[in-house]
């Protein structure tokens, strides 16, 4: 991957300001597949994440920590181009 293609993430503090909701939804292109859609305060879709990949990467120790772990993971991996939306 070239430096041009490298994904840059927003700082956590900036991501927190623009994300209003993270919603688990069905992937309309793949039945029986879930995604996590990220919305801004204008109710516009910013981006989406693969549900299974995020659950694995967030590595919550138990179900009670899962929601916070997923939210923190997404907020730390929000692409910088999200500001353009």
Domain boundaries, the chain: 12-84
Query: For residue 65, what pLDDT is reported?
Result: 87
Average pLDDT over residues 35-48: 97
Q: Give the global pTM.
A: 0.88
Range list of H helices, the chain: 12-18, 51-58, 63-76
Average pLDDT value for residue range 32-45 = 97
When pLDDT is cut at 50, 70 and 90, the band that residue 1 belongs to is low
More reliable by pLDDT, 61 or 20: 20
Residue 70, pLDDT score:
96
Distance of CA 78 to the CA centre of its chain: 6
**What's the rounded mean pLDDT across residues 14-22?**
97
* CA angle centred on 84, ends 79 and 85, rounded to 5°: 95
pLDDT in the model for residue 3: 62
Positive or negative CA dihedral for 58, 45, 48, 31?
A: positive
More confident residue, 39 or 6: 39
């Amino acid at each position: 991957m070239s430096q041009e293609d490298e994904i840059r993430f927003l700082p956590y503090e900036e991501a927190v300001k623009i994300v209003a909701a993270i919603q688990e939804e069905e992937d309309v292109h793949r039945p029986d597949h879930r995604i996590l859609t990220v919305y801004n305060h204008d109710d516009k879709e910013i981006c989406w994440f693969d549900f299974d990949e995020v659950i694995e990467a967030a590595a919550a120790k138990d179900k009670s920590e899962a929601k916070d772990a997923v939210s923190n993971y997404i907020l730390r991996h929000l692409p910088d181009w999200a500001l353009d939306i």
